[in-house]
Amino acid sequence: MPANVVVIGSLNMDLVTRAPRLPRGGETLIGHSFATVSGGKGANQAVAAARLGAQVAMIGCVGHDDYGVRLRDALLAEDIDCQAVSVVEDSSGVALIVVDDNSQNAIVIVAGANGAMTPAVIERFDAILQAADVVICQLEIPDATVGHALKRARELGKTVILNPAPVSRPLPADWFAAIDYLIPNESEAAALSGLAVDSLQSAETAASQLIAMGAGKVIVTLGAQGSLFANGKGFEHFPAPTVKAVDTTAAGDTFVGGFAAALASGKSEAEAIRYGQIAAALSVTRAGAQPSIPTMSEVQAFRPA
């Protein structure tokens, strides 16, 4: 079957250590554990969408190294179409992650092969985009490639989702008209809007600003406070399911993948948001990025405490 969700983005090997707390500058801490785990925001969202019910294709680049083999194999194990995951002469992308005892994390990313994602790569696999219903992008590949992918998906009439992560500056103004759903977290919403986001009310103000800038609809993910949906006509707050968090890594990616999978299956926006929230809530009860992402059956079986 052709993919109904196409993810364009990064594949990284996550090098994860758990420590009592996040280190301060110049400080050395003794960690609890270390693991290498398949990740990258693009790959995480592809895995989430696949486990949560979508037929998925991934467009990305890995290096000519052992990490590249493992990253691609991890997607194939989820029945994700990897014909557009190219192997390039570079090292695979990596993410260095520290998770503290309060389940908060700090991450440093080295792009590696993800930097080889050019607009020409998107053009080479245009047939995959043409067959999709939903197209997802993030910001761990070059900006020129993201912009090209957003605009091409819009030309094709696809539902376009941008998860603007990681971000430290406003998006190019001409991107917004191509975005159906802009899905930032609090810090990303603040960076994009230029406004502080530290409450539900301030999230509403930032979301309104992003819609005024041209985004179709905005979903601000607020962690344990749930999600805020804005469409230019009003707002709706979706409280998060209550769970005991172990590791928040990939929670946002799980939400995006679950939301996209639900939309692709015909669910309403509200149903898709709730579906993504349950998936994200389940993910934080487990360690790791891709290993923490739940399946569709687990989300369907979830009952609030």
Residues known to be catalytic: 253
Q: What is the CA radius of gyration of the chain?
A: 18
Alpha helix (H) ranges present in the chain? 41-51, 66-76, 119-124, 126-131, 143-155, 186-193, 200-212, 251-264, 269-283, 296-301
Give the Å distances, CA to CA, from 71 to 34, 64, 179, 191.
18, 11, 28, 30
Amino acid at 180: D
Beta carbons within 10 angstroms of residue 212's beta carbon: 11
Among left, alpha and beta (phi > 0; psi -120 to 50; other), residue 296 is alpha
Q: Are 76 and 45 in contact (CB under 8 A)?
A: no
The closest of 132, 162, 105, 72 to 283, measured between CA atoms, is 105
Determine how β-strand 33-39 pairs with β-strand 181-182. Answer: unpaired
Pairwise CA distance, residues 125 & 120, whole Å: 9
